[in-house]
Amino acid sequence: MVELEAILLVWGVRDEVLKKLPVEGYWLYGEYDFIAKVEFADENELKEFSLRLTRLVGRGKFKLFPVKLSSSTLKNSAENYQIDGIIENNVFYVL
């Protein structure tokens, strides 16, 4: 089950680097060079991906925007007193 989804934006890198990206997505022409939806099992996997991407494209040339957390992740956080008032089967989006 996917726990976390994010949108990946990459800019300011050459085509040779874009071909090496470890995800499938879309090449863009304009302010951004690449966009993709990426899925992670947990925050640690997202952090590892971010570090790997930093080594590949460089610091400050990409942004990961988390857009969805599963309700089970939020429920577990609520049980650990990090988030209060979570209702099961809710999906929270960051706009």
- Say what the pLDDT of residue 1 is: 57
| pLDDT, tens digit (0-9, with 9 covering 90-100), for 15-65 | 999 999 999 999 998 899 999 999 999 889 999 999 999 999 999 999 999
Report CA-CA distances (Å) from 2 to 60, 70, 84, 95: 27, 7, 22, 20
- Say what the pLDDT of residue 61 is: 96
User: The whole model's pTM is what?
Assistant: 0.69
Q: Which residues pair with 35 in a beta bridge?
A: 9, 26
Nearest Cα neighbor of 65 from 30, 40, 29 is: 40
More confident residue, 10 or 84: 10
- List of domains in the chain: 4-79 (3.30.70.920)
| Coil vs helix vs strand at 44 | helix
